[in-house]
Amino acid sequence: MMTNPRFLLSVGLLLVLLGVILPYLMVIHVLTSTFFLNFFSWGATAVGLLFGTIGSAMYSKIRKRL
């Protein structure tokens, strides 16, 4: 499953969106800003960018072979 580049790109996109939506909800006071939630949103963004980069590299490697 983790060898599928589309899966990695999808998970990366979802994590990056989560990392954008959570701070926005904290700013408009829908969610309470906590230490855990701040680092969770930062971690979701970082891991999402990592998964997206790895997924796009794997996708371009597969497409070069064809």
DSSP-assigned letter for residue 3: T
User: Total domain count for the chain?
Assistant: 1
Burial group, residue 8, by CB count within 10 angstroms (0-12, 13-18, 19+): buried
Q: Is 6 helix (H, G, I), strand (E, B) or coil?
A: helix
Domain of 37, in residue numbers: 5-65
pTM: 0.88
Q: What is the pLDDT of residue 8?
A: 95
Higher pLDDT, 1 or 3: 3
* DSSP characters over 7-63: HHHHHHHHHHHHHHHHHHHHHTTSS---HHHHHHHHHHHHHHHHHHHHHHHHHHHHH
